[in-house]
Structure 1
C-alpha cells in the first residue's frame, strides 16, 4: 500500500499475517456476515480450511467498508463472540473480567460511583510514591474522582522501571498490546514488543493526556513516613539529590514504589581492587559501551538474556556467568516492527485490536490448570505436573537444540532441572545464538572474587575483563524499600514483617498501618507474570478508590484491614499455594525469586483469575476497619 488505497493484494497479505481468531471475530462483529460462522474454532481447522476462512475475510475486507463503525456489543452478543473466538463456552464466572479485558467500554477497570464524584473533605490529599505504571494508574483513578493527590518520584522523570533501565535492547517481553493500560483508546506501538524508550514515551503521553503530569514532584525520595493517630494523617520526609530535605503531610499514602526498584549485586572480595568498571543494568546509560572491551555478563534471567546479544556484538570478548539454567523461549514477533498490514487492521477494522488483545490474554484463565496445578492422573502415569507442562518442556528442549546445534556438553549446561512456568518465563533475544559465538564463553562456575584485572571463579580459573555487568536482579522482598514506615503505636513496618517474609491483605494492606496502600505488594503478581499486569494495577487502583469513597460517604478519617482478616487471608493464600508447582517442583523453590528463603510463595498470588477478581472487585466492609 505505502500511501495508496489498500487493494486485494494488500488485504491478502493482511489476512495472512493477522491473528485469524481476532480477524474472524472482528469481521463478524462488524459485518454480521453469517458465512464466517460456518467455520469451526480456528484451532480445529486444518490448513485448507484456514485458507478458505482467510479468503472469505479478504473478500469482506476488500468489499464495501462504508458502513463499518465501532460499536459496543451487548452482553448477549459479547458472550457469543467470546465463544466464537475460543470455540468453547465461556464460564459464567469468567464473563465479567473477560468483558473488561476486551476494553470495548473506555476505562473498564476504573471505579465510577453511581451517584457521581464523591464529596471530598477539605484539605484531604493522597501521596502516591512512584511515577511508574502503578503510580500513574492510581493517579488517573483519582483524577476521575476529583480526589487531590501528589505523586512523589525519586528520579528526575516519570517512567518507573522504564526510566531506571536503559541497558542495550531493553523492551517488554510480553506483547505490548497486553501491557498497555485499559483506557479510552488503544495506543499505536511501532513493535509487537516495544523497546523501553517507547514504553516510557507512552506512559509520558498517558500522564499528559490525563492531566497527571502537573501533579508529579520529581527528585523526591521517600525516607520516612509516620502515622499520626491524633489526626489520622501521615507525615512524610523526603530527600533530594542536592542533599536538601522536604516534609509533606497526606491523609493517605499509596506506595507505588514497584517490585523491581532495589537492585542487588553480589558483595565479592577484591571488588575495590578491580581496575575495570562494574555495573548493574540500572546503572547503564547512553554513555556506556561494550565496544572493544572484554565483558563479563553475570546472570541469565530476563535482563541478562536481553542484553547479551547486543553486548557480545560490540565486545571483543564476552564471558557469560550462569548460575542456574533457564527455560528461554522464542516469541513470535519479538524484535519485529508491526507491519503495515497489521497496522491497518489495528487502526481501521473495528474490534480487531480488542479481539487480538483478548486472544493474547485469554491464556490467563487456564494458566493454573495448564502449568501450575499438578494433575494427579497424569503424575500417576509417571508424568510431571501436567501434560501441557511436559509438552512445553519438550518444545523448549527442541528449541534449545535448534539454536546451539549438536553440542552435547553445551546442551547439558543449558537444560534446567525445573519445569517451565514455575519461574519467570524468559524470552530469547538471541541469547542461545550469542553463546555459540567464537568470542563468547559460557561459564557455570560461580565467581569467587575480583582481581585487579578481572574475576576468578571458585575453581581457580581467572578471566581478564574490563567491564562486569551484574544482571543479578532485585531484592524483591524489600517492599517499600528504603523508606521507613511507622504505623499505629510507633510500629515499624519492617519489624512487623520481620518474623516472616512480607505479607499483606490482597497484596494491598497491612494491619496497624491505616491509610496505607501498597501497589504490587506481597503476593499480588498474577501467576502468569507480566501478561495483563497493568490491568491488575487498574483493578488495585479501583479497589483503593472504593475504600476512599466509603471514608468520604461515612465521614471516616481512616481505613485499614482487620488483623484477623489479614491472618485468615494469608492462611488461605498459603494453603492455596502449597499444592502448586511453584512449591512442589523440586527445582523451582531454590533460587526462584517468586519464593522466599523459607519456601513460601512471596511474589505471586496463587489464586486463579476468576477467583481473584471477585476478591478485588469491591472491598468487603466486614474485613476492613473504618474510624
Structure 2
C-alpha cells in the first residue's frame, strides 16, 4: 500500500471521515499505527444487526470523534511517508482484527480466505509451460469473463463463445424495471477489480457496465466470438478432444471445455393453459420489451419471486392497475441502504484511505455470507419445526414478522396474504426494495392463487379470481435444474449428460467435474448456488482458480485428459446430500428452486463459503483418471 504521489488534502480527508464506517476505520487505524489500543475498549464496535452496515459502530459521540481525529493523523502520516505498521496481517493476527471489526468472534479458518481476498497473502499466479492446449469457454457472463482473464494469465489459449451480442450474461439479458443485485455492490465485484459504485446495491445498468469495463480492461473482446450459440459438445476418446458445434453449423475443436452458462440463463415458462391466446403483450421477465411503456396500463404479474419483487415497486406508480398472482409468499428482510447512493465523502475514503476499501468489503462479506449458516441447520430437538428449524432461525422469524407487520400496519388483509408459514430462508431471502409499500397502493392487488389459465383478455386464478390486463408478465424463474440446457453434451460413452444425470438431477464433484466427461469443467454447476447469502462471484473465483490450476498441472505433467473418478463424485454427492438433509432447504413446508420435484437439492451449496474455498483450494490429481499426452 504505497503513499499517494500528490499531497493529501487534509481538509477533504477530515470532512470525508464524517461519512466513515467506523468499524472499518478501527481496523485501518491498527494497521497504520500498530497500536493495540484500537483493538480494545472503548474502540471495539458492537455487532451489526442483520446485514446493517453499522456505520457508527455503537460508539459514543466522544469515541467517534476520537477515532476520526486519530484516523486523520494516521492517514496523513502515511501520506507523508510513514509505512504501515501492520501492512499484511495473516493468520491469528488477521482473525483478531476481523473479530474486532465485525464485533463478534471470527473462527480462525476464515483468516486464510480473507488474507487472499484482501491481497495480504495473494494466491500465486501459476503459469503453464509452453503449450498448444486449446480451451473453449461457453458464455461471457460473470464466470466466462473470469475464466478468460485467468486462462490468459496462465498462458493458456482459449476462445469464448457467447450467444449474445455483448458480454454480461444474465445482466445483459435481464433489463426489466428495477433489476439489480441483492448482494452489496462492493461484494458483487471481482476481488481484483474494485469499482467506484454509485449505490450500495447496484442496479442492472451499472452492473452490466462493470462487467463490460472489466472485459475491456483485460482485452477480452478479441477472444470472444459474439452471436455464437453452442448447440452441442461431443468428446472423442481417440484423439481426446471436444468437438463443439454452433447454431450456424460451424465446428470448432478444443482439448478442454469450460461451461460458463450459469443457472439463470434459460427462462422457465410453465405450461399454463392459454399462453398463446392472450391478445396483448405477454413475456417472461428476461424478455422485457425495450420499447414497452406501461404508463396507464393494466398489468398482471405471475409470480412473486426476486424478479417480481423488483418489478412491482418500480412500475406500480405508473400503471393503472397492477395485479400480482402469488402462489406462496416470500420472506423479506429490511435494508436501510438498498436505494441509497454512496456519498462523495464515503467514496473519497474508499479511494484514498489505505486498507479502508478492503475492510469495508471484508465486513460486508462477513455480514452477508456465512454468518447466517448456523441458523439454517435443523435442530431435531426443536419444538416448532413447522415454523422454524432452530432457535436462531425462530428469532429471525420474529424479526422478519415484526418488520412485515410494521410495514403493513393497518392492513390485516395484506398481513395474512404476505406472511409465510414456512421457516425464513426456506426460499431465497429477498430484500425489501419498496415491496410492502407497493402492496399498500390502491392500484395494486395481491391475489393469493396460482394461475389456472391465461385468457384472451387477462388471467384467471385457480380459485376463480379473474384479472383483466393489457400486459401479462411471467415472473416464473429459470430452468435452474437443467444444467447446460439446451446444449447437447456427450461424453466418452456417447451418452448425453442429461441422460447420465436425469432431466433435473445434475451432480458433479465440487459442482465442477463429472465422470464420463473428461476435460469438461463447469462453473455455477450443481450444488454451488449460494442459498445462504453472499456473492456468487466469490464462488466463481473458487471454481475458476481450481479449473485453471488443474489445467496448468496437466500441462506440467504431460497429461492429456483428466476424468473424475466415479467413486470420488459419489462420495462428494453423498456428503452433499447428507448435509442438505440437515438443512432448511429440505424442510417439507415449502417448495423452492433449489430442489427438484423429487425433493433433492440440486442448486444450493450446503456448506459455508469458507468450506467450499478450502475444498477447491488445490485440485488433487488422485481424484481423476488421467491419460498421458501422446508424444
List per-residue Cα deviations over 1:368-425 (Å, max 9, x = no partner).
21x2113456549999423332222111111112222222222111111111122211
Matched, 1:625 2:625: yes
Match of 1:39 in 2: 41
Match of 2:118 in 1: 102
Report deviation, 1:508. 0.4
Q: Is the 8 A contact 2:95 2:108 kept in 1?
A: no
2:328 alignment partner, SS class? coil
Q: Which runs of 5+ in 2 are unaligned?
A: 1-7, 49-55
Matched, 1:161 2:170: yes
1:254 alignment partner, SS class? strand
Match of 2:94 in 1: 78
Match of 1:27 in 2: 29
Give the aligned CA root-mean-square deviation in angstroms.
Answer: 2.4
TM-score by length of 2: 0.91
Report deviation, 1:278. 0.3
* Higher deviation after alignment, 158-167 or 29-38: 29-38
Matched, 1:221 2:224: no
Matched, 1:145 2:154: yes
Report deviation, 1:487. 0.6
1:398 alignment partner, SS class? helix
1:547 alignment partner, SS class? helix
Q: 1:79 to 1:399 in 2, by over 3 A?
A: closer
Q: Is the 8 A contact 1:39 1:53 kept in 2?
A: no
Report deviation, 1:548. 0.7
Report deviation, 1:59. 1.0
Report deviation, 1:555. 1.1
C-alpha separation in 1, matches of 2:444 and 2:454: 20
Q: Is the 8 A contact 1:502 1:522 kept in 2?
A: yes
Q: 1:404 to 1:11 in 2, by over 3 A?
A: farther
Q: Which of 577, 582, 599 is equivalent to 1:579?
A: 582
Matched, 1:301 2:317: no
Which runs of structure 2 are paired with 1:442-461 in the superposition (5 Å)? 442-461=446-465
Match of 2:552 in 1: 549
* Higher deviation after alignment, 63-72 or 128-137: 63-72
Report deviation, 1:437. 0.8
Match of 2:53 in 1: none
Matched, 1:55 2:65: yes
C-alpha separation in 1, matches of 2:438 and 2:203: 20
List per-residue Cα deviations over 1:162-221 (Å, max 9, x = no partner).
0011111211111011110011x5211111111111111111111121222210000011
Q: Which of 102, 123, 136 is equivalent to 2:145?
A: 136
Matched, 1:256 2:272: no
List per-residue Cα deviations over 1:419-471 (Å, max 9, x = no partner).
11222111112111111111111111222112221122223332110101111
TM-score by length of 1: 0.91
Q: Is the 8 A contact 2:32 2:75 kept in 1?
A: no
Q: Is the 8 A contact 1:234 1:250 kept in 2?
A: yes
List per-residue Cα deviations over 1:565-606 (Å, max 9, x = no partner).
1111111211121111221x3323x2x011111111111121
Aligned residues: 605
Match of 1:469 in 2: 473
Q: Which runs of 5+ in 1 are unaligned?
A: none
List per-residue Cα deviations over 1:266-288 (Å, max 9, x = no partner).
22222322111101111114311
Q: Which of 325, 337, 340 is equivalent to 2:341?
A: 337
Q: 1:432 to 1:623 in 2, by over 3 A?
A: same
Q: Is the 8 A contact 1:302 1:426 kept in 2?
A: yes
Hey, which of these two has a bigger chunk of helix by percent?
Answer: 1
Matched, 1:234 2:242: yes
List per-residue Cα deviations over 1:288-329 (Å, max 9, x = no partner).
121121000111111100010121111111111111100112
2:316 alignment partner, SS class? helix
Q: Is the 8 A contact 2:377 2:390 kept in 1?
A: yes
Report deviation, 1:47. 8.5
C-alpha separation in 2, matches of 1:578 and 1:44: 31
C-alpha separation in 2, matches of 1:319 and 1:66: 57
Report deviation, 1:27. 2.3
Q: 1:622 to 1:44 in 2, by over 3 A?
A: closer
1:42 alignment partner, SS class? coil
Which runs of structure 2 are paired with 1:170-209 in the superposition (5 Å)? 170-183=179-192, 185-209=193-217
C-alpha separation in 2, matches of 1:355 and 1:302: 29
1:186 alignment partner, SS class? coil
Q: Is the 8 A contact 1:104 1:354 kept in 2?
A: no
Match of 2:616 in 1: 616
